[in-house]
Structure 1
Amino acid sequence: MNSINYKKSAQKLETYKRLSFKEKVSLSKRKIRTALNTHNEPLVSSSFGKDSVTLIYLVKEVTDNFEVVFNKTGIQYKETIEFMRELEDEWDLELHIIEPDKTFWEIVDEYGYPKSSRNSKTGDKRVPKCCKFLKEDPMRDFIEENSFDLDFVGINSGKGSQSDTVVLEGEKEC
């Protein structure tokens, strides 16, 4: 994203942040509908944290024609797995659980512990090996194997500059 587009997008994001809760929900649903108008095989990627559960809820308010995918990295809290199962039943979700080829601990043994890329002061944009092997590669393979043409991802733009950048870049999709 070049600096001019980033500046415009950042201003747009600041405008969105000032909306009322009701306006944010309405805008979110409108963006979901817009994305669904041009896609036939939607997917919601979910960690079953607050942001992605909110997204599942909003997508469910708009359509029942979607599936949900969860990346089981092996290092989630058991309460997260329990909550995921509860929502799967209560909301009648078509849930896919994907698992990586390597465990987190195998990756740590091979590459060392991951450094936080979220707050990197060096400007290093490389994805830590754990994210690549535990999340990105399995997710890419899953989407390709199942022909999904839209992947909704719930990210809170208030988490900091990296999340804001992801939200701004994702904006081009709808």
Structure 2
Amino acid sequence: MDAQRLTMRRRRMDAYRALSTTNTRINKADVLRFEAEHKTSTLAEKENRALTLIDEAITQTVERYGSNAKIVVSCSFGVDSVITLHLVKRVCDMRNIPFDVVWNNTLNEYPQTRLFAKKLTADWRLNTIEALPTTTIRKIYDEHGVDSLLKRKGDRSNGQPVVEKCCNALKHAPMQRAIKEHGWHLMFNGVRAGESRQRWMSARRDGDYYYSSGTWKTWVCRPILWWTALADSFNYGNNRQEDVWEYVRKHDIPYNTIYDMNAVIDERYDCPTVIIDRVTAERLSAEGYNVFMPRTGCQACPIPIKRGYLRYLREVFPKVYRAMLFQLGFARVLIAEIPEDQRVALIAELSSFGVITEKTEAAILDRLEDVIEFKPCVFDGVGVSKRK
């Protein structure tokens, strides 16, 4: 390593050495500097910096807590989490330092995620601990009902939306209990700024290594915070290079098969909707087609509806689709979300074919099974943001 690069590396790490449980974040100027550096960095440079940051975070943790230091990787078994896990494992294996893996199993996961978690735990000999909720998604919706399936988390215009209550009960509370129970002093995660505007704002607020005095009450390190992917939904001025999947290819890392279960949901596509692999999905998306590319996380969740999730579920996971409509009560709200002119036309069509006897929304709910059999695609376009 030449003198200039060594000086830069030391300067980066110096930014973190003043951190404490009272001085919880690095300077804003340093956060912006690190963000700017990553915008023009190669994957190799980002990888080296991630390994250095991980090593520094572990060193500080051992200095603070001695031989009792407990380290954990929060892993959803999505690609970002697995990359972070791989990076941490490289450092810990080299230093002979043990660590845990915590999986926030919401009991609402894709079957592909459950299988992959089990296999990777065995193949990499991980000490995987499941953080489990004390309730179920069904109980949450039974208790709180369904407000608007299109409201974002954080939208408090009419109180806390049920989707936020669901996330708190199935994800945040179990993780908080697990951290307290196991006493982890340092937690790594695979959050990236390019995933959404909210995560970019969080990245600028907290940086890639900080003490969470509020939510988690432990040290948090996000080594791939400024890595990018071509499929990112938010571009904050980065070079939009493919760091994520290039790292997977470079190190031959296994990944969750849900990433190869993408579907074209675009009327302009003259082929039948089929499950396509990730590479094909990214190519078609770049060409301007609407392609639903699933991510790990809760399967029965309304948040991705704007990306065409209802049609995707109906065609790829029909049992989950029906459970959302009937058991969770999404159908009533979905009918209300249909634009008025389309809803009037739908009621007229159903009435003319004798599917319903009264021209009302209540009649649709009363005969929902028949409605779906007659018109399977009835909810496909509800809430979908059209690509231009």
| TM-score band, normalised by shorter chain | 0.7 to 0.9
1:153 aligned to which of 163, 174, 189:
189
Q: Distance in 1 between matches of 2:50 and 2:39?
A: 12
Q: Choose the corresponding residue for 1:12, options 20, 34, 41.
A: 34
What is the match of residue 179 of structure 2? 143
The alignment status of 1:132 with 2:154, answered yes or no, reads: no
Q: 1:54 to 1:125 in 2, by over 3 A?
A: farther
- Greater gyration radius: 2
Which segment drifts farther, 19-28 or 126-135? Answer: 126-135
Cα offset for 1:71? Answer: 1.1
- Greater alpha carbon shift after TM alignment, 126-135 vs 152-161: 126-135
Tell me which of 117, 139, 144 is aligned to 1:111: 144
Sort the Cα spacing of 1:49 and 1:91 in 2 relative to 1 into closer, same or farther, 3 A: same
Gaps of 5+ in 2: 1-26, 62-68, 211-220, 222-388
Q: Retained in 1: the 8 A contact 2:74–2:81? A: yes
Q: Paired residues, what number? A: 168
**One-letter code aligned to 1:86:** K
1:60 paired residue number: 89
**TM-score under structure 2 normalisation?**
0.40
RMSD, aligned α-carbons: 2.6
Give a deviation string over 1:43-81, Cα, whole Å, max 9, x none: 111110011010000000100421001111111100011
Q: Distance in 1 between matches of 2:135 and 2:42?
A: 44
| Cα distance between partner residues in 2 of 1:150 and 1:171 | 13
Q: CA deviation at 1:130?
A: 1.2
Query: Shift of the alpha carbon at 1:38?
Result: 1.8
Q: Distance in 1 between matches of 2:165 and 2:29?
A: 31
Alpha-carbon shift at residue 145 of structure 1 (Å) = 1.1
| Aligned partner of 2:106 among 73, 86, 98 | 73
CA distance in 1, matches of 2:71, 2:32: 27
Moved more, 10-19 or 158-167: 10-19
Q: Residues 71 and 100 of structure 2 are in contact (CA less than 8 Å); yes or no, is this contact kept in structure 1?
A: yes
Q: Unaligned stretches of 5+ in structure 1?
A: none
Q: Considering fraction of residues, name the structure with more helix.
A: 1
CA distance in 1, matches of 2:142, 2:32: 40
TM value normalised by structure 1: 0.85
Q: Indicate the larger mover: 67-76 or 157-166.
A: 157-166
Deviations 1:19-38 (A, max 9, x none): 10001111111111111012
Q: Secondary structure at the match of 2:129?
A: strand
The letter of the residue matching 2:51 is: K
